[in-house]
């Protein structure tokens, strides 16, 4: 089986995702699919995309949940999910060929597709469901943190971030070095109480989530009331004539 690096640098590249500002637009999903299909490894295939039972390979997905707080109305929470690049990555240690590995220099977990035999052990070991089998290629795929972007000196500096981060219209996704306490992402985590996903598993994920802020909404507030009030008591012009004509029918 594959082993994790015995010595690693202090650098831990990862994502910080703000669940308070994510609007569930799936722009990150589309951008991730497009960039990785066109640029990294084998394309992310789709099976029967326009048929009755479509399926495909995605490195990033967004799930939506309705959450009922103790007080106030229910909230819709959008939850983006991709590889968390765990420090103690179980997907790496179960790989029989060494295809799954963790980089010592920045902590990114990757897959060598040439060495992957598609056994699926990494998918079974990942507690977050972040591994996907590409049925066309016969190998496992996962988020790479767009390693082909972040170190690409041919790209403008503002584009040297994961595609999902560059695309997010609400600024809900942040990228940086979570091993550096002075970095913007680390300060954001400290200020907002960033948390690990399922910390009890001991995988020590690098990616962090910022919890939704409580919404200060009165429990008896009817948010639909303004939309149910008539816009105008009496119609004028053509609409007024149409109302009178319809009343006679």
Consecutive H or E run containing 76: strand 75-81
Per-residue confidence (pLDDT) for residue 243, from 0 to 100: 75
Q: Does any domain span residue 218?
A: no
For the chain, the helix, strand and coil percentages under 3-state DSSP, each to the nearest 5 = 25, 20, 55
How far apart are the C-alpha atoms of 142 and 134, rounded to whole Å?
A: 10
| Token pair of 185 as six digits | 């992402």
Is this model's pTM higher than 0.85 or not?
no
Query: Structural domain tally of the chain?
Result: 1
Q: Does any domain span residue 231?
A: no
Q: The domain containing residue 22 runs over which residues?
A: 13-210
Q: Which of 27, 85, 84, 36 is nearest to 56 (CA)?
A: 36
How far apart are the C-alpha atoms of 170 and 201, rounded to whole Å?
A: 31
Q: Does any domain span residue 118?
A: yes
Q: Does any domain span residue 230?
A: no
Q: Does any domain span residue 96?
A: yes
Q: Does any domain span residue 237?
A: no
Per-residue confidence (pLDDT) for residue 104, from 0 to 100: 94
Q: Does any domain span residue 243?
A: no
Per-residue confidence (pLDDT) for residue 233, from 0 to 100: 62
Residues of the chain with pLDDT under 70: 1, 39-42, 215-235, 249
How many beta carbons lie within 10 A of that of residue 72, not counting itself?
15
Q: Does any domain span residue 248?
A: no
Q: Which of 191, 190, 209 is nearest to 199 (CA)?
A: 209
CATH of the domain at 84: 3.30.70.20
């Amino acid at each position: 089986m594959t082993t994790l690096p015995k010595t690693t640098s202090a650098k831990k590249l990862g994502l910080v995702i703000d669940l308070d500002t994510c609007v569930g637009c799936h722009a990150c999903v589309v951008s991730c699919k497009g960039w990785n299909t066109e640029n990294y490894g084998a394309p992310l295939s789709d099976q029967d995309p326009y048929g009755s039972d479509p399926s495909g390979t995605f490195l990033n997905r967004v799930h939506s949940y309705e959450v009922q707080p103790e007080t106030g109305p229910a909230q819709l929470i959008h939850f983006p999910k991709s590889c968390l690049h765990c420090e103690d990555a179980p997907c790496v240690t179960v790989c029989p060929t060494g295809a799954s590995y963790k980089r010592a220099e920045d902590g990114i977990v990757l897959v060598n597709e040439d060495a992957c035999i598609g056994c699926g052990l990494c998918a079974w070991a990942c507690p977050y469901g972040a591994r996907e089998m590409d049925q066309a290629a016969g190998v496992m795929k996962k988020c790479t943190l767009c390693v082909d972007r972040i170190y690409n000196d041919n790209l403008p500096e503002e584009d040297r971030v994961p595609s999902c981060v560059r695309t997010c219209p609400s600024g809900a996704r942040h990228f940086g070095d979570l091993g550096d306490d002075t970095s913007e992402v680390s300060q954001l985590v400290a200020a907002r109480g960033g948390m690990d996903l399922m910390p009890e598993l001991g995988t020590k994920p690098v990616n962090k989530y910022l919890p939704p802020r409580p919404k200060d909404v009165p429990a008896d507030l009817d948010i639909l009331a303004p939309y149910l009030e008539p816009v105008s008591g009496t119609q004028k012009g053509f609409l007024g004539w149409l109302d009178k004509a319809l009343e006679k029918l």
